[in-house]
Structure 1
């Protein structure tokens, strides 16, 4: 009897491991997008190119993996999607990227291979809560949440087991002078990023409130949120601060991006949809800024870290359906038992490790300004505290450059 019980326990354990493995791997994404120009932009100021589309870059990354990808979509705002785009018709596609169905051969959404839905709201309505009447839809009096419920309900009735994602975009710019032709001032650029990241204003929290409302009203859909705009601004202000000219990033104050912005959006979206890190061997084409290409490892790891840390108050992920993703550097942190404690920080903190790690540390604010350098910080030195009492409350970023292997890790801290 004892051997049978033991065998049963082993079999259950193996089943759990297999379940965890299958649930933590996403190898096939067949996405249909209800999108607008912050996902797919046909540039008006240069020859239209596929590189100004998020799905183009997701597919480009997929080509360096064994994953599979298909993408179709329809263009417009939420009101268009609910009133005119149901049943949906694939009006957006890309050369070399298979669609999820072909209406010319009699295919429909119901018979399509679609397993993933991505939607996004307008970026100029965030002064009104998503549960209140949409300012872009004043005559109908419908809210962003109610239109999302209508859209998701229709899709769910047609196909089961869909994954639903909200694509959190970036806001319009409030500029003194029109861009183009006048480039924004540095103060205007800083304010744009602060609003996008949530350092000021309610744009960032609007998206989490939106997700919370959908999760509350349609819990079975378990809608996820990809904080694309916020992470792009964090990258541009903390990982590669002020290193790329503004007009190589954005072409107007809406702001439509250039290829660099949609590439970063594609990286973030890939990690969110596939729930795995971008392969270390992947490198985009030279249309992407050499600043981004030369810092791709740090950017890749930062994206993974930020998505891992994007959670509900109970600790569940806002973005991943399955377990969090560990980047190469994050794996190293776990293996070496490296911790930043405490975090949030009141006055001082330490970097703890069981190994003898020595870092050169740089502290930046959310605008990418270097505040302090701390060379030769050894993690096993007792009482080796870092004092940030002089800093005001807010979010800061640490760059930890390991002197042993020359790798760089970016970590976020919160100063109370």
Structure 2
């Protein structure tokens, strides 16, 4: 792929903007060594309890193993249910192979007494095509014949606020995460041919990163509008997994039947392990531990983590970390990372707003506008999905730069300068 650059006259879109301190470099590192969570979840968080033959088909067991090897601490409690039918006060249903429970006294059901660092909630994955976040979230007709007559049939926003308000009352200042899962698969499972799998799962991953993802972004935004003083963050599992599994992704060659066991789609341990890598990155504010030692060497498939994942572990971790850097508001605050985490001085960079890249997705021609406060020269690298530098160029003055990329796929534009660093994802259709 050849990177062609055309210099254009810059505008003043960034003039007059105050500088803020914000971490955007791929080398950022937070300090969050202890993590205690309560999860209002379902089987896309914890599937092991439903399948006695499964081993670590859940996020918490993998979270604990990752934290343990990074010399961090992790404990967790949780319960099953679809919002708004989750029980409040919590009912402490979960236990795991590896992950310890935070609640050590089973007679003490007082949520606030266990000092949770954060609460995680998620919603059903089959409502997004039929209801917006401000509409009815879920109504179980096993119990309610007419959902419109159910006074408890809350919208997705109201259902999340119900949990948020409860846990904040019990534990003031608690951090709150919305877990963005993956959608229900409506195709044929298992696929009858490779061609069918490519077609149907290709559409599945496109939906996951587009309309489905937009639904969760809207949910987070609407919750923040209602509770602007709350720490409400997003764990964007669905779109990152979709990027890993899609054409040109690091794990594009892994078969759907290696990841999923049905059309729900519930997953085998590998799916929950990859999901845990995203969870760990968000909750601890750091990359998962290097040279992770997998505990399943003597296990057979589908319990054993595939060699394709093990052999690409470092690349997967870096891809996830870089993907999470793109989840920022216009003012520089992260959608996923807490703004009050302790930062390493060496990791701080001076940043105004995100650079503007448009149109994105595009047909191969992109315009890049950098802040007026940028100190030049700035090096721009084009990086593919597996971390390879495809091309690079140095920018020496303020400008709007037109990039012409002649290869389709998903790439990252890494912008590096003096006291300035950023990563922008771009998609060539």
Aligned to 1:314: 331
Q: Choose from 34, 47, 68 the match for 1:28.
A: 34
Are residues 159 and 343 of structure 1, via their aligned partners in 2, closer, same or farther at CA, if it must alter by over 3 Å? same
Aligned to 1:406: none
Q: Deviations over 1:215-267 (max 9, x none)?
A: 11112222111101111111122442422111001111111111111011000
- Asked whether the 8 Å contact 1:102–1:108 carries over to 2, the reply is no
Question: Is 306-315 or 120-129 further displaced after alignment?
Answer: 306-315
- Asked whether the 8 Å contact 1:93–1:99 carries over to 2, the reply is yes
Aligned to 1:387: 404
Aligned to 1:222: 231
Aligned to 2:16: none
Aligned to 2:134: 131
**Structure with the higher fraction of residues in helix conformation:** 1
Q: Secondary structure at the match of 2:120?
A: strand
Are residues 357 and 55 of structure 1, via their aligned partners in 2, closer, same or farther at CA, if it must alter by over 3 Å? same
- Asked whether the 8 Å contact 1:193–1:233 carries over to 2, the reply is yes
- Asked whether the 8 Å contact 1:180–1:253 carries over to 2, the reply is no
Q: Deviations over 1:159-180 (max 9, x none)?
A: 21211000000001121x3448
Shift of 1:358: 12
Q: Choose from 193, 211, 220 the match for 2:220.
A: 211
Are residues 118 and 182 of structure 1, via their aligned partners in 2, closer, same or farther at CA, if it must alter by over 3 Å? farther
Aligned to 1:154: 166
Are residues 397 and 113 of structure 1, via their aligned partners in 2, closer, same or farther at CA, if it must alter by over 3 Å? same
CA distance in 2, matches of 1:399, 1:221: 32
Are residues 391 and 342 of structure 1, via their aligned partners in 2, closer, same or farther at CA, if it must alter by over 3 Å? farther
**Greater relative contact order (Cα < 8 A, sep 6+):** 2
Q: Give the unaligned 5+ runs of structure 1.
A: 1-15, 17-22, 335-339, 401-409
1:104-119 to structure 2, matched below 5 A, reads: 104-119=106-121
When the two structures are superposed, what TM-score results if normalisation uses the length of structure 1? Answer: 0.74
CA distance in 1, matches of 2:377, 2:290: 25
- Asked whether the 8 Å contact 2:191–2:197 carries over to 1, the reply is no
- Asked whether the 8 Å contact 1:349–1:386 carries over to 2, the reply is yes
CA distance in 2, matches of 1:294, 1:161: 40
Q: Choose from 38, 41, 49 the match for 2:44.
A: 38
Q: Deviations over 1:47-76 (max 9, x none)?
A: 122x21011111110011221111110111
CA distance in 1, matches of 2:379, 2:276: 34
CA distance in 2, matches of 1:233, 1:253: 16
CA distance in 1, matches of 2:167, 2:51: 36
- Asked whether the 8 Å contact 2:377–2:395 carries over to 1, the reply is no
Shift of 1:281: 2.9
Q: Secondary structure at the match of 2:229?
A: helix
Shift of 1:378: 5.8
Q: Choose from 269, 277, 284 the match for 2:287.
A: 277
Q: Secondary structure at the match of 1:32?
A: strand
Q: Deviations over 1:255-304 (max 9, x none)?
A: 11111110110000011111111122324344211111111111111111
- Asked whether the 8 Å contact 1:343–1:349 carries over to 2, the reply is yes
Q: Secondary structure at the match of 1:397?
A: strand
- Asked whether the 8 Å contact 1:39–1:53 carries over to 2, the reply is yes
1:71-150 to structure 2, matched below 5 A, reads: 71-81=76-86, 85-127=87-129, 128-136=131-139, 138=147, 139-140=149-150, 141-150=153-162
1:320-359 to structure 2, matched below 5 A, reads: 320-322=337-339, 343-344=357-358, 347=365
Q: Secondary structure at the match of 1:210?
A: helix
Q: Secondary structure at the match of 1:104?
A: coil
Q: Give the unaligned 5+ runs of structure 2.
A: 1-20, 22-28, 141-146, 298-303, 415-422
Q: Choose from 307, 314, 317 the match for 1:297.
A: 314
1:258-277 to structure 2, matched below 5 A, reads: 258-277=268-287
Over the aligned positions, Cα root-mean-square deviation in angstroms equals 4.0
CA distance in 2, matches of 1:208, 1:154: 22
Are residues 180 and 105 of structure 1, via their aligned partners in 2, closer, same or farther at CA, if it must alter by over 3 Å? farther
Shift of 1:154: 1.5
CA distance in 2, matches of 1:301, 1:103: 39
CA distance in 2, matches of 1:304, 1:76: 30
Aligned residues: 360
- Asked whether the 8 Å contact 1:311–1:317 carries over to 2, the reply is yes
